[in-house]
Structure 1
Amino acid sequence: MQSHTIEPEQAQARREYYDRISRQNLTPLWEVLGKLVTPTPGSPAVAALWRYAEIREPLMEAGRLISAAEAERRVLILENPALRGRSAITQTLYAGVQMVLPGEVAAAHRHTQSALRLLLEGDAAYTAVDGERATMHRGDFILTPSWTWHDHGNPGTQPAVWLDGLDVPLVQFLDASFSERSSAATQPPVRPEGDSLKRYGANMLPVDYQPVGVSSSPVLVYPYERTRESLLGISHGEPDEHLGFKLRYVNPATGGSPMPTIGAYAQRLPSGFETRPYRCTDGTVYVCLEGSGHAEISGTTHSFGPNDIFIVPSWNELRIHATKDTHLFSFSDRPVHQALGLWRESRE
């Protein structure tokens, strides 16, 4: 708003007016317009990094203090430092690190929130979704779409730890949260392990398959072995100066995002490569799967290594320098931005 000189009598009259209309649950737009309609995004979230080596011990301690059965889900939430108490890593996304100890089961439930899993540690745990089980390997990207039954278990001998990513804050904002617990801790198998990948993950679809509405991917697991092979296979010639070699995960039936509210990406940065400044409107959570480097986010540098997790809030400038050949997994709310015609990027 333009600055105007206001006489004391007029200022007093306005205060009395604002107080009077406030009792009618009214407020003047002209007092808040500049905060509501901003020239550029101004996310309250801030950049932050969680070192896996530093969060692993508190997670193991949680395993000694509370069982998976008691907790339902034994998870340490990664709360954005500027959004404490909101169980949010960005305005729309939740992230947490979950552990299932040998012999434990995280009982079956379902909810309207969409979720992804990315295994960080362990080699024998599984996730089961609507009757299909997937053994989890490090770097595997696993879906639990909205309103699908899912449970987890660890028949191995070592703890299993994975990253959870959900659209919890978005669903809360929309007042659309529903959930149910199953009467059985684990789901009986309906399909053999690997069934969805064979049916939908080989550039083929069942002959009578038709996606319905805004659907999630019919593929349960995107194996890191395949992702890594693809990243290495395209790493010839000059990398994109802003992104390196980057691919997005897709719903193979539609070409859209794996879930309607969450997009996921895999990225390779050769040793010594430094990306040029980049901004986008979707707040993005990154996980380092291989290599090391540092991310400069709006002028602050965060060094990262394997299993470290960092957040780049909306419209924060990002530059990444890889000190070794580096593979990054990331997820964001980009599909929502794109569906609403709000997504933008800036490349310098």
Structure 2
Amino acid sequence: MDDGMVETVNRAAEAGRSPFYDRARQQNLAPLWRVLGGLVTEFPRSTAVPAIWRYGDVRPYLIEACGLISTEEAERRVLVFENPGLPGQSRITPSLFAGYQIILPGEVAPAHRHVASALRFIIEGKDAYTAVAGERTMMAPGDFVITPSWTWHDHGNESDGPMVWIDGLDMHIVNLLSASFRDSYPGAAHPLTRPEGSAYAEAGSNLLPVDFQCGSQTSPIFNYPYRASREAIHRYSLTRDPDRHHGYKMIYINPVTGGSAMPTLTTALQLLPAGFATAPYRSTAGTIFSVIEGMGTVTIGDNSLEFGPKDLFVAPSWFPLSFSAASEVVLFSYSDRVVQEKLDIFRESYVND
């Protein structure tokens, strides 16, 4: 087993160096040559492992949690997806968080704000809302909703059934940089200052107000409705043959900058035609997938996992990934790719090319 020590170290001589190491430790010093191989690896070695959470297995726990704790007590009633390779760390990949949040009819998840950016991807329900920075948006399954960094936000359910969505956050990236702040609003809900639909009216039609000012790298559109996104990827699929590694895949963008809709998370919609099988692909971006429509099999490394609607699975960094679609499949995904691209460290490989 590789213990991290570089190959050039004379292991037979190591015992004689122990007094030096002990004295150096008293000065909070440590020899790099004993750990270099584990710090600068020859290829990515993710501590996360491939995993799948089937919605039919998870949903009963969400319902049970509703009887155990209120939104007022929990603030956010969320069950966290813990990667089996990272137990107890609230991580689905080393850099990303994922969880299911559930809110019952009449409940309000109280307003707060934090430096970490969040996405909501809606799984189940109707007539629930998120309010962001003084504007409310109603949510439906398949909608992709953004909570930008340091914006007040609260959630409420005005329907007669539960509402469930994925919470995806960059909190582990924020905490790595020791940059986290958090604040609670004194009331349950932040005041509404803009009519519903204002953000989309300003920036959702390839037009901007003449006096528009962009104060953030995050998209000014904070709800990308599935009805529009689904139509867009369908139309795209009519214009060309599917990519052999991705099928049809489109990235959610900030319409002001043309870049990623979120500065720390790459979000995407992917369509695989019925019967289509992708060629293996891998990248350094660990990626979380949520199945919107269809059934099939995903192979991640040596793991072949059958999936259906509302299931969630994770492909860690540098694991070969391929799909086989039993029916037409639509997937939502998010990853830390945009962060890696900004740092010039993102790498991808088309395995069979």
- TM-score, with structure 1 as normaliser: 0.97
Report % sequence identity.
50
Does residue 1:144 correspond to 2:147, yes or no? yes
8 A Cα contact 2:120 2:145, kept in partner:
yes
Distance 1:145 1:295 in 2: 31
Measured on the aligned residues, the alpha-carbon RMSD in Å equals 1.2
Q: Which of 15, 22, 26 matches 1:23? A: 26
Distance 1:180 1:208 in 2: 31
8 A Cα contact 1:211 1:254, kept in partner:
no
Distance 1:82 1:38 in 2: 19
Q: Which of 52, 71, 76 matches 1:68? A: 71
- Tell me which residue corresponds to 2:3: none
Deviation at 1:5, TM superposition (A): 5.8
- Tell me which residue corresponds to 2:226: 224
Distance 1:11 1:181 in 2: 54
Distance 2:19 2:10 in 1: 18
Show CA shifts across 1:217-251 (max 9, x none): 10010000011001110113420000000000001
Does residue 1:109 correspond to 2:112, yes or no? yes
Q: Which of 209, 213, 218 matches 1:210? A: 213
Distance 1:62 1:4 in 2: 54
User: One-letter code of the match for 1:227?
Assistant: S
Show CA shifts across 1:136-161 (max 9, x none): 00000000000000000001100000
Which portions of structure 1, spanning 4 or more consecutive aligned residues, are displaced by more than 2 angstroms?
A: 1-7
Distance 2:350 2:207 in 1: 36
Q: Which of 2, 8, 11 matches 2:7? A: 2
- Tell me which residue corresponds to 1:159: 162
Structural mapping, 1:177-188, within 5 Å: 177-188=180-191
User: One-letter code of the match for 1:320?
Assistant: F
8 A Cα contact 1:293 1:304, kept in partner:
yes
Distance 1:210 1:341 in 2: 28
Distance 2:70 2:125 in 1: 18
User: One-letter code of the match for 1:2?
Assistant: E
SS in 2 for 1:234: helix
Deviation at 1:209, TM superposition (A): 1.8
Deviation at 1:6, TM superposition (A): 5.3
Distance 2:7 2:131 in 1: 59
SS in 2 for 1:341: coil
8 A Cα contact 1:77 1:95, kept in partner:
yes
Q: Which of 250, 255, 275 matches 2:253? A: 250
Larger mean CA deviation between 184-193 and 169-178 belongs to 184-193
8 A Cα contact 2:132 2:152, kept in partner:
yes
SS in 2 for 1:62: helix
Distance 1:220 1:160 in 2: 18
User: One-letter code of the match for 1:217?
Assistant: S
8 A Cα contact 2:9 2:33, kept in partner:
no
SS in 2 for 1:60: helix
- In 2 relative to 1, CA 98–114 (structure 1 residues): closer, same or farther, beyond 3 Å? same
Distance 1:3 1:207 in 2: 64
Q: Which of 330, 335, 338 matches 1:332? A: 335
- Tell me which residue corresponds to 1:90: 93
Deviation at 1:342, TM superposition (A): 0.6
User: One-letter code of the match for 2:154?
Assistant: D
Distance 1:43 1:211 in 2: 36
Distance 2:8 2:140 in 1: 60
Q: Which of 203, 206, 211 matches 1:200? A: 203
Distance 2:11 2:217 in 1: 56
- TM-score, with structure 2 as normaliser: 0.95
Deviation at 1:335, TM superposition (A): 1.0
Does residue 1:37 correspond to 2:36, yes or no? no
Does residue 1:81 correspond to 2:84, yes or no? yes
SS in 1 for 2:237: coil
8 A Cα contact 2:113 2:151, kept in partner:
yes
User: One-letter code of the match for 1:304?
Assistant: F
User: One-letter code of the match for 2:293?
Assistant: E
User: One-letter code of the match for 2:324?
Assistant: H
Distance 2:11 2:288 in 1: 47
Distance 1:137 1:92 in 2: 28
